[in-house]
Chain A
Amino acid sequence: MLQLSINGEARTFAGPLTVTALIDQLGFTGRRVALERNGEIVPRSQHAATELADGDVVEMVVAVGGG
């Protein structure tokens, strides 16, 4: 089991889990999102190859209306 913090929320997932799989499980596949893992950006090209580890802190963002 993996305990992750996603946008400040504690979430548990079955491991192993890549970034691509995480985005899929959260329902954001195909959506334009950007992701930080422990303060470092994981480029889209690395999503499939990046395995998340227990305790990772993930930030996932989108573009929203703003001025």
Chain B
Amino acid sequence: MTQTPDLFQIAGKTYGSRLLVGTGKYKDFTETRAAIDASGAEIVTVAIRRVNIGQTAGEPSLLDYLPPSEFTYLPNTAGCYSSDDAIRTLRLARELLDGHPLVKLEVLGDPNTLYPNVRETLKAAEVLVKEGFDVMVYTSDDPIIARELEQIGCCAIMPLASLIGSGMGILNPWNLRLIIEQSKVPVLVDAGVGTASDAAIGMELGCDGVLMNTAIAGARDPIRMARAMKLAVEAGREAYLAGRMPKKLYSADPSSPLAGMIASKA
């Protein structure tokens, strides 16, 4: 049987892996690299931060371990609380990465919950799309906001499943499904995944991909968890494409034939 290839495209580029991973919170760069290799991810998020002026020359950097020639970098605006800061950060990222336009926009609204400020997010998205950025946008799981972000021209909508770094899993599959059904651009779960089943559930709902960091970096064995996440995303995608059996309420349906049973003892 021939299968039509299951292509995952972001901003016109095709990727083999639907798992996107962050590069924060690892013990060292060696572990970062090993975990990302185990995850099979091709798109990796990075943060943009001030250089450490006192840094000794020749100190290793993330880029030495994850060369931009091997991975698609997705610079983020983590820590930004205003559209202005987010826009500035991504302009610097574009300069840093030789004009690379793919970015992850997130504008936070609260330091405790890291919940997105959608008003500032919408404002920043407008400017960035006009400036030619391919904007993958972190947002709440509000379908109306998701639709507005798509109308502005964002290339992927990335609703939270639960709070960033919480590992609480997918708390509102209904809203995610509403966003998936209405969106013409890829929808990725971003934030909240805690373990492999969370990633699989997201993919079974019909998400185009999953983005995670802490679920892997915060596991006891990050490299093993990276592998688990790779398998979970693949399994969830396959299950989605296969189309699950209908649920049958209040009665069973035997898997073995009813006919041909041996006679019961009298």
Residues of chain A at the chain B interface (Cβ within 8 Å): 6-9, 11, 26-28, 31-36, 39, 41, 43-44, 59-67
Contact = CB atoms under 8 A, between A and B. Distances in A.
B88 A63 contact: no
Contacts of A26: 51, 53
- The 4 lowest CB-CB distance pairs between A and B, nearest first, are A66-B47, A67-B22, A67-B213, A27-B57
Interface string B192-232: 00000000000000000000111001000000000000000
A63 B97 contact: yes
Contacts of B165: 67
Given A32-B96, A33-B51, A63 B91 contact: no
Nearest to A7: B50
B135 interface: no
B45 interface: yes
A55 B92 CA distance: 21
Given A27-B57, A66-B78, A44 B95 contact: yes
Interface in B158-201: 164-165
Interface residues of B, number: 37
Main secondary structure of the interface of B (DSSP, over half): mixed
Contact of B48 (A39, A44, A61): A61
Interface stretch (B23-31, B241-249, B252-260): B23-31
Given A34-B96, A44-B95, A63 B46 contact: yes
Contacts of A43: 95
A65 to B, nearest CB: 4
B20 to A, nearest CB: 10
Nearest to B57: A27
B96 A64 contact: no
Contacts of B212: 67
Given A60-B50, A63-B96, A64-B47, 12 more contacts: A7-B51, A36-B92, A39-B88, A41-B91, A43-B95, A62-B49, A63-B48, A63-B62, A66-B23, A66-B45, A67-B25, A67-B213
Contact of B73 (A6, A7, A8, A63): A63
19 contacts: A27-B56, A32-B97, A34-B92, A34-B93, A60-B50, A60-B51, A63-B46, A63-B63, A64-B47, A65-B22, A65-B23, A65-B24, A65-B25, A66-B22, A66-B45, A66-B46, A67-B22, A67-B47, A67-B212
A59 B91 CA distance: 13
Nearest to A26: B53
B76 A65 contact: no
B32 interface: yes
Nearest to A42: B95
